[in-house]
Structure 1
């Protein structure tokens, strides 16, 4: 099924499938129909990808008519974009709770690195959705009207953290905040998305607690090793050179 072939613009239909409300939470606790569709769609797109997901399956699991999905989202492409926007908004909201502006520059960077690492494992659907969108060459994200605004506050806080670190003589000056964030993401994302093949190739359980802690410590050391001024040493496993 193509991603744009499924009758966008169908008339609104407020009816749900028989038994849709059976065993549901109280009315105060029920998510809205749109939120319920979005939650089910997130799981389906994470499992089957942008092209393998079927709107009919989402409708059945969300206990709504297919037409209602088109009423709220317009098309399967638009639904996938809404899922991506929701996923990005969730991680940005969680990052805001780090309160980087209230920490020392080094502690703020450590928090951001640890947060990014932990988030990938706590939300495997996030990496799955990103994998799917990259297979689509980012075409959904490219037409989003909200994601640029979602990312701006993060870059602003990171810019301020780096600038404060430079003013205090802790961080080197002239660091591009986007490059730092991409590096932090890449160092964790590759490990998470390739953990099965890497474990098989290296004959090690890369998901063991020891390996996971070693990896996040390694990421932290790499990033801070780049950021910190030479006068601010960090722990290193490299052997010290003896004086001649």
Structure 2
């Protein structure tokens, strides 16, 4: 039987289809970089620098490892950016506090409350700082931005302390850095050790009522520390230990 010929293909339609360029996916560099940074914060906070993996970060950011290296240069540089980001968030929010027309004591108590709330809402900050302390600030030392962030905060505290001295609300000679470290230390310890302390003492330290009571106690401690003494403080003699 004679073979039947197939109808000729519409060559014009095929050619037209072939000539049409494939739709390009528009890239958003800022969005991609932000996604990588968010994923990196979560990964480094959970596993530290040594335990974190760049391929996991890229996967969580829904991108590829090439993009991670393109935007950040590598694992070490990305980790420094993570530290800068979490500390920049804290510093930025601290500097939004307006104490110009606030009573100095209210200002310092408000700053303490802010630090307390920030650490509660951002456990990744505590975790990252804990890992970095274990490594003796190895990566943090590579950042030039982080030390610069601290100066405005200390200046803010210094102004509050000077105003408090001037109106005799505060005693003289309080160092702003010592005060800031004290406030952060109290906040950090209670939260970073909250799980173990809750188990040891059989009480949940993360309940809102316990946190509120603890904050009120810290207010009283800060007030007692800041206020001028009613009578001259007596110097306590140190007891020498036996050799």
Q: Is the TM-score greater than 0.5?
A: yes
Distance in 2 (CA, whole Å) between partners of 1:33 and 1:132 is 26
After TM superposition, give the deviation of residue 100 of structure 1 in Å: 2.2
Partner in structure 2 of residue 239 of structure 1 = none
Partner in structure 2 of residue 170 of structure 1 = 169
Distance in 2 (CA, whole Å) between partners of 1:217 and 1:37 is 39
Distance in 2 (CA, whole Å) between partners of 1:46 and 1:105 is 35
Contact 1:188 1:219 (8 Å CA) reproduced: no
Per-residue CA deviations over 1:42-83 (Å, capped at 9, x if unaligned) read 111111111111000011111222122112212211111100
Contact 1:133 1:140 (8 Å CA) reproduced: yes
Q: Secondary structure at the match of 1:101?
A: coil
Distance in 2 (CA, whole Å) between partners of 1:67 and 1:199 is 44
Partner in structure 1 of residue 144 of structure 2 = 145
Distance in 2 (CA, whole Å) between partners of 1:32 and 1:173 is 49
Q: Which consecutive aligned stretches of 4+ in structure 1 deviate over 2 angstroms post-superposition?
A: none
Partner in structure 2 of residue 39 of structure 1 = 38
After TM superposition, give the deviation of residue 31 of structure 1 in Å: 5.2
Per-residue CA deviations over 1:185-235 (Å, capped at 9, x if unaligned) read 00110000000100111111111222111111121111221111235xxxx
* TM-score normalised per structure 2: 0.80
Partner in structure 2 of residue 74 of structure 1 = 73
Q: Which runs of 5+ in 1 are unaligned?
A: 1-20, 22-26, 232-244
After TM superposition, give the deviation of residue 149 of structure 1 in Å: 1.1
Please tell me whether Structure 1 or Structure 2 has the larger radius of gyration of its CA atoms: 2
Q: Which runs of 5+ in 2 are unaligned?
A: 1-24, 231-243
Partner in structure 1 of residue 134 of structure 2 = 135
Q: Secondary structure at the match of 2:164?
A: helix
After TM superposition, give the deviation of residue 172 of structure 1 in Å: 1.0
Distance in 2 (CA, whole Å) between partners of 1:62 and 1:221 is 45
Q: Secondary structure at the match of 2:36?
A: helix
Partner in structure 2 of residue 235 of structure 1 = none
What are the residue-to-residue correspondences of 1:18-167 with 2, within 5 Å?
Answer: 32-167=31-166
Contact 1:170 1:229 (8 Å CA) reproduced: yes
Distance in 2 (CA, whole Å) between partners of 1:31 and 1:219 is 41
Establish whether residue 210 from structure 1 lines up as the match of residue 209 from structure 2: yes
Per-residue CA deviations over 1:98-127 (Å, capped at 9, x if unaligned) read 212331101101101111111111111111
- The Cα RMSD (Å) is 1.8
Per-residue CA deviations over 1:5-50 (Å, capped at 9, x if unaligned) read xxxxxxxxxxxxxxxx8xxxxx99x952111111111111111111
Residues 140 and 102 (structure 1), Cα distance of their counterparts in 2 relative to 1, 3 Å cut: farther
